[in-house]
Amino acid sequence: MRPYLSLVTSFLVLLICHSCGRPDTETAASTQESFSADSVEALLLKDHQPVSLYKGNENPVTRAAFPVIDMHSHPYAKSEAALDEWVKTMDKVGIEKTVIQSYQTGDAFDSLVQVYGKYPDRFILFCGFDYTGYEQDDFGPAAVKELERCFSMGAKGVGELGDKGKGLFYSRPTKAFGMHINDPKMKPLIQKCGELGMPISIHVAEPIWMYQPMDASNDGLMNAFKWRLDQQEGIVDHQGMIDILKDAVAQNPETTFIACHYANTSYDLSILGKLFDVYPNLYADNSARYAETATIPRTVNRFYTQYADRLVYGTDMGMDVGMYQTTLRILETADEHFYDRNISSYHWPMHGYDLSGEVLEKVYRSNAQKLLKLPAE
């Protein structure tokens, strides 16, 4: 109401001054100052859109320093024309191949094989797990059979599996709430992935801010509130989800796991680092967590340098040219204090990691080639 009242007040003051025949310049300026102050006081946090004024560090990256394998994308193209345009975008920014984390099984997976089969050298499909009947004691054999069928249709991995604390739910068509990746019922599926050489991409937990109280002390409030988990009773907490991931990785050493989004440990990458130190079958992608980590570029640079053999590039944010180029800028440059609201809804600015060429080549391509058993070129 304040901006509206200020506007009315300003109008009345100007009207009175005009009718009295007195100079109104000073009064109008004073009223405008009051109006601006009231507007700022009424500004909502979600509407704060600062523009960086810092100069001298603008180094946009239009094309990746090395050919890139994007290990985390989804079937965004909904038509042949959209698919053709996506390939043109990939060519423009230097994306050699894109892994489609489909979630799907059955006919839905088969239909994606047909669509993306137009570009067999550019797209790699991951399938889901079929959780149908997961509540039953005899769950397992049918799901393994469907996994083998998807493999025969061209699936090179499984993903994206997802568990934010209530159980596995990303795969289609059935959600498996109440069952986690370390459940004994999952063992046959996970072992079969190891036998077939299919890595499992799994999203566990969410960024830590989503678990914190939604109050003035929450550092990531603007994004956290949308994806909040703090108010959900009975949900496994952040540490609990990391423990579940650790259990699955430890119990299945012959199967490769890729923890999506740094296993959502952006706030303390040493958590992931300690897992890397113990479990050689664990990798991680950096998809959709650029904003969370571009706040701490020196820490991230050290982390990438130490674990360059265990990290892969991913996007998980669509297929827009600008999106790709912002991720490349974050990885490759030392730019400071810039915004891209297409990939971030946090209030803070981003900064480049300034990764070395040796690290970039591994993260962009060679680690993915190893995981996907692609020939090194």
Q: Both 11 and 119 in a single domain?
A: no
Claim to verify: residue 35 and residue 77 sit in the same structural domain: no
Same domain, 18 and 80: no
Considering the domain architecture, whether residues 193 and 113 belong to the same structural domain is answered as yes
Q: Are residues 29 and 132 in the same domain?
A: no
Q: Is there a contact between 124 and 156 (Cβ–Cβ < 8 Å)?
A: yes
Q: Is residue 53 part of a domain?
A: no
Residue 112 lies in a domain: yes
Q: For 84-123, what is each residue's pLDDT tens digit?
A: 999 999 999 999 999 999 999 999 999 999 999 999 999 9
Does one domain contain both 19 and 153?
no
Instruction: Classify residue 89: in a domain, yes or no.
Output: yes
Task: Kindly state the percentage of the chain with pLDDT values over 70.
Answer: 90
Using CB atoms within 10 A of its CB, is residue 76 exposed (0-12), middle (13-18) or buried (19+)?
middle
91 and 204 assigned to the same domain? yes
Lowest mean pLDDT among 36-50, 247-261, 265-279: 36-50
Asked whether residue 88 is assigned to any structural domain, the reply reads yes
Q: Residues 8, 111: one domain? A: no
Predicted pLDDT of residue 188: 97
Kindly give, in sequence order, each residue whose CB lies less than 8 Å from that of residue 251, ignoring residues fewer than 6 positions away.
Answer: 182, 187
Q: Are 272 and 212 in contact (CB under 8 A)?
A: no
Per-residue confidence band for 350, with pLDDT thresholds at 50, 70 and 90: very high
| 50, part of any domain | no
Q: What b/e sequence results for 334-359 when a residue is b if at least 16 CB atoms lie within 10 Å of its CB, and e otherwise?
A: ebbebbbeebbebbbbbbbbbbeeeb
Average pLDDT over residues 271-278: 98
* Parent domain of 347: 68-372
Cβ count within 10 A of residue 98: 25
Asked whether 193 and 147 are in contact (CB, 8 A), the reply is yes
Residue 149 inside a domain? The answer is yes
Question: Is residue 5 pLDDT above 60, yes or no?
Answer: no
pLDDT, the chain, mean: 89
Residue 21 has pLDDT above 70, yes or no: no
The residue with greater pLDDT, 29 or 153, is: 153
Residues 7 and 136 in one domain: no
- CATH number for the domain that contains residue 275: 3.20.20.140
Q: What does the alpha-carbon distance between residue 356 and residue 141 come to, in Å, rounded to a whole number?
A: 46
Let me know whether 290 and 354 are in one domain: yes
Contact 283, 259 (CB under 8 A): yes
For residues 183 and 35, membership in a common domain is answered with no
Q: What is the pLDDT of residue 362?
A: 98
How many structural domains compose the chain?
2
Q: Answer yes or no: is pLDDT of 353 > 70.
A: yes
* pLDDT above 60 (res 29): no
Q: Are residues 247 and 358 in the same domain?
A: yes
Residue 54 lies in a domain: no
Domain assignment of residue 105, yes or no:
yes
303-347: pLDDT as tens digits? 999 999 999 999 999 999 999 999 999 999 999 999 998 898 888
**pTM of the predicted structure, to 2 decimals:** 0.88
